[in-house]
Structures are given as C-alpha cells and as structure tokens.
Structure 1
Amino acid sequence: MLSQQFITTVARYHADDRVATKLWSEVEKHYTSGKRYYHTLTHLENLLQELWSLRDCIQNWDCIIFSIAYHDIVYNTLSKDNEEKSAAFAAERLKEISFPVQRIDQCTAQILATKSHTVSQDSDTNFFTDADLSILGADWEVYHEYTKNIRKEYSFYPDLLYKPGRKKVLEHFLSMSRIFKTEQFFSRFEENARKNLLQELQVFSKS
C-alpha cells in the first residue's frame, strides 16, 4: 500500500512515471537490507496503517508519505546521526521532484523529530512520531517480537554492552510525563506501552 501511495504522491510533482518508480525502488532496496530486522518495509507499512485512519486530522498528507518512506532510509546501528543522514537523503530526493521547499523543510523536521520524540509545535509531526512509537503499545507478544528484532540489529554488541544501553532507552521513555503526544495515540497506547516497557525492564533486572 505504501508503494502505491508513494508513487502516486511523487507523480503529483514529477510528470515522468519512471522517476516515481525509480525512487520507490531505491527506498525498497534500503529497507530490505539483510542487516534490518525491525526497521523494514513492514515498519513503514505499520506507520501508514496507523496514520491512515487519522488522515483527516493531518494537514499535509504528502509530506507524511515522504516522511514515512525516508525516516529510516539510512540506518546504521554503529552511527548516531542516522536521522540527520536520512533527513538529508530525503531533502535531496524531494528537491529532484520539485517538492515545495517549505514542505521539504517540514519533512526533514519530522524525520529529525524521531531522534527525541519530544512534543512539536507542528501537529503533523506529533502524529508522525506517535505512529513511529506505536509498537511500544502493541500486545505483549508483538512488542516482545519487536524487542527481539531490535536485539538482532544490534547483535554485534555483547549483552554486557547492549543491556545497559537498552535499559537506558526504556527508562527514558518511562520518565516521560507522556510517551504519546496526541490524544488519539495516547488513549490507545499509553497505558499498554508503559506496561510493556516495565515488563521488559523487569526481564533485564532478572537476567
């Protein structure tokens, strides 16, 4: 579904259909890398699914489609600037299709916002980052599978290094007054997300 949305959106700004297909093929290639287990096309489809029912609340749907597609396009678990590189990648490609400069800026801001997931003055950004975190509030079985896939992506780290880092991430989210910024995501996922995070934290404490 995302492929159709992406290609249709690109076509609104560039007359050559081959460009839209080429850009999607590039996105697909990055997200199907053998080193990815969670940050895959499935993750992108989940974001689209979460936001689809809320599209009437979103002011710039085209921007959201591009933010979904490009927000993790650069993903190197050894790097700390994946968001910055992904935003720069998106900006370059969106300039090629003559996407309006103001919207490119909004798209890159949304991608950068996935680094901290803090409240934004832009409501579309809050919807986007909430969707990015929606996995935290999934049923435990789904959440637990997510944690295993994240561990695979960081498999080069021994438990001695991985567990303290993961624990820090869990505690960071639990320390937030609200994990989800929008009422729509807060009401659906906040309570369960905190239960999942605490349960994972308890597993670390026992091991």
Structure 2
Amino acid sequence: MTDQQPLPLDESSLTTLKASWHADLQVLAPEAPEQLRSAEVDLLLVRWSEPHRRYHDVQHLAEVLAAIDELAQAGEVDPVGARLARVAAWFHDAVYDARAEAGSNEHRSATMARDHLNTLGVTQGNVDVVEALVLMTLDHDADGGASLLASRRHTVAALHDADLWILNAPAERYAEYARQVRAEYAHVPDDLFAQGRSAILSDFAQREQLYRTAHACTQWQDAARTNLAAELAALRG
C-alpha cells in the first residue's frame, strides 16, 4: 500500500471548477459580491486539498460535478436541480476526517453549507435543500431524508448517482480509487479495514437498483457491479 498523495488538478481544471461555482452562485446569490463568492470557492478548494485526503479530494469533487453535468445533459435533472446538486457537491465532503465518528463529517459539512450559503445570501429554501442533499450522502438513502426533498427527487437522484459515479469508473481509475480509500484509512488494521469495507460495498452490491436515474442504470450500473464484485473478492482473499 502506498501513502503517495494524489496529484493536484492542473490550472485549467481548477479554472473550470471555479467557473462552475461562479456560474451557479451568480444565479443562487446574485447580490453576493464577486469577492465574497471568490473567497468562498478558494476556501472550499483549500478544504478539498487538505494533505490527509487521498480519495475525498479535488479529483473526487471534479468527478462528481462532471457526473452531475452528464446526468443533466441526459435529461435526468432540470437546470435548477442540477445547480442545487452541484452546490451540494461542493459542500458534501468539505469537512472530511477518516478518523471521525460515523456521520460527523456529513453533519459538519451540512452545517458549513448552511452557514456559508446564508452568508452569501442564498434564499432559505435553497439553503434547506442543499443542506438536506449533503446529509443524504451520509447513507445514500435517496428515498429518505428531509420531507422538503419530496419535490426534488430528480435532484436527489442526480447527486446520489454522481457521488457513486466512481463505482463504474474504468478499471484503472477504480483500482486507484480503492488504493486511495485504503490510504485514507491507513490507521485501520488490514483485517478490520477489509471487514468494514466489505460491509459497505456489499450493501451497494446487494441493492436491486444501485443507481436512481435511468441514464446511470443503463450506462453505469453494469460496470459498477463488475467493479464491486472484483473488489469484494480481493478483500475476502
């Protein structure tokens, strides 16, 4: 196992990420000064670039945002829902510590989203939706969550599937992802890691429908099941 840090995104990719943030926030918080929006995205990128991260880093953020855009282009979520899903993606792992108690990262990230979006002047209804979307990523229960998401099921499905895009990644990227997750949990002994990781992956593998959007089900699901089966077999020796 290697503890090598993932390579940072190049300047072009970072510029693309920042442009996406500004485009969404110009709509959600039109009265926020550009300087405030810029300071926020810079802060978020610092969070996502923390040295202890191996998988939950800027690369993961970029992949989630790209997946949301793919789902939007496929007609799975409307422009409003895609915008809210992207903003939720920016915050969903803004707080990340592999040693934290279960649920702590998601709850702290959701609180950060609420506080910071309020400061930016995003309307309360949209803040509530983003906060609930971030909390959904705790257990990826796309059918549960806050009642306010009942009218936003396409938005929930888009973020749910985008966050799990990695499961269908090409074999080389999936293998890299598995190594990155192991590196984040380097403090956990091999046997305990294999037990815990197997439990998480088995839950996904046993779901009748791994993804929630039609596009992800038809385009991503078979590869995801293949990747899950291969990693589970390796974990079980």
TM-score by length of 1: 0.94
Partner of 1:107: 130
Secondary structure in structure 2 of the residue aligned to 1:53: helix
Q: Is 1:194 paired with 2:225?
A: yes
Partner of 1:71: 92
Q: Is 1:166 paired with 2:187?
A: no
Instruction: Tell which has more relative contact order, 1 or 2 (C-alpha 8 A, sep 6+).
Output: 2
Residue 8 of structure 1: how far off its partner (Å): 3.0
Cα distance in 2 between the residues matched to 1:60 and 1:99: 15
Partner of 2:11: none
Partner of 2:54: 37
Residue 62 of structure 1: how far off its partner (Å): 2.9
Could you tell which deviates more after superposition, 23-32 or 59-68? 59-68
Structure 1: tracts of 5 or more residues without a match: none
Partner of 1:95: 118
Cα distance in 1 between the residues matched to 2:128 and 2:32: 22
- Structure 1 residues 110-189: aligned runs within 5 Å: 110-120=133-143, 121=150, 122-189=153-220
Cα distance in 2 between the residues matched to 1:43 and 1:18: 26
TM-score by length of 2: 0.83
Residue 68 of structure 1: how far off its partner (Å): 1.3
Structure 2: tracts of 5 or more residues without a match: 1-15, 144-149
Aligned length: 206
Cα distance in 2 between the residues matched to 1:90 and 1:188: 31
Residue 54 of structure 1: how far off its partner (Å): 3.1
Secondary structure in structure 2 of the residue aligned to 1:60: helix
Could you tell which deviates more after superposition, 174-183 or 6-15? 6-15
Cα distance in 2 between the residues matched to 1:177 and 1:71: 25
Cα distance in 1 between the residues matched to 2:120 and 2:94: 18
Identity of aligned residues (%): 25
Residue 161 of structure 1: how far off its partner (Å): 1.6
Q: Structure 1 stretches (4+) deviating beyond 3 angstroms? A: none
Residue 29 of structure 1: how far off its partner (Å): 0.7
